[in-house]
Amino acid sequence: MGGVWTRYEPKSFSQFVEPWEMVPVVLDGTRRATIVEGPTAQHDMAQFALIEMRGARRGSPSAASSRTASTLAVVKTADADEALGWFAETGFWKPDALTTRPWLHVL
């Protein structure tokens, strides 16, 4: 009614990188993150890179689809350029095709 979700397209993901730890409860709006989405250049290796990012506490949860060779990930930075850099440095994503959106995670 208010124009929200007018461009929503359902997506199916077949693989997930689950978080290792629970996110602490924060009620003051300080938990800013970035959603990174886009196609992979090497899908299988990108899955390993997502696991490494989780281990480095850069991001999680993440989802990937082998059918469309695409990724949707939440990373722990409010800086979109930094987030894109993390993905680009691996060489497993197509950096010019990645998109970012700011995300404020509030419980």
Q: Among the CATH numbers 3.30.450.20, 3.40.190.10, 3.40.50.720, 3.30.2130.10, which is that of 29-104?
A: 3.30.2130.10
Cα–Cα distances (Å) from 48 to 9, 31, 53, 69, in that order, read 27, 26, 9, 14
Q: What is the pLDDT tens value at each position of the chain, 107 positions in all?
A: 566 666 667 777 777 777 776 666 667 767 788 999 999 888 889 888 988 888 888 876 677 666 677 888 888 888 999 999 999 999 999 889 999 999 876 65
Domain ranges of the chain: 29-104
| DSSP code for 12 | -
Which strands sit side by side in the sheet containing 70-75, from one edge to the other?
15-17, 59-65, 70-75, 32-39, 99-104
Give the up-direction half-sphere exposure of residue 106: CA atoms within 13 A in the CB hemisphere.
6
pTM of the full structure:
0.78
Which tokens in the block code for residue 20?
């290792």
